[in-house]
């Protein structure tokens, strides 16, 4: 049995949904950031898989490269915000970050 493009796309879809579920149902902001990384990685899998089935140029891999760069920048800034939130409220629960609400 050979591996088709659909296998990669289905796997990436399931991984993306796992990340989305983690982002929606967890209240720990660290786990939320990790879920965002899961979703970005799932998108990368689809880009690289499509590029493998159209190997005339490297557009998909270049896109995945940029996604990795943006994800690294996003993780750095996001974790700085987490540290700032922790310094302010002594918690990492997103439910407690409600200063604009009251």
Q: Within 70-89, which residues bind another protein (CB under 8 A)?
A: 70-77, 79-84, 86-89
Judged on CB neighbours under 10 Å (0-12, 13-18, 19+), 26 is middle
Rule CB under 8 A: is residue 9 a binding residue for another protein? yes
Backbone angles phi, psi at 90, to 5 degrees: 55, 35
Closest separation in Å from C-beta 43 to another protein: 11
Residue 100 binds to another protein (criterion: CB under 8 A): no
Site string for another protein, 42-61 (x = CB under 8 A): --xx--xx-xxx-x-xxx-x
């Amino acid at each position: 049995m050979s591996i088709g493009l659909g296998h990669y796309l289905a796997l990436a879809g399931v991984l993306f949904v796992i990340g989305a579920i983690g982002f929606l149902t967890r209240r720990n902001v660290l786990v939320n950031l990790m879920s965002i990384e899961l979703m970005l990685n799932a998108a990368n899998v689809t880009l690289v898989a499509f590029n493998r089935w159209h190997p005339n140029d490297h557009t998909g891999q270049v896109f995945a490269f940029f996604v990795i760069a943006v994800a690294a920048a996003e993780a750095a800034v996001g974790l700085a915000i987490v540290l700032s939130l922790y310094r302010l409220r002594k918690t990492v629960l997103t439910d407690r970050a409600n200063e604009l609400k009251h």
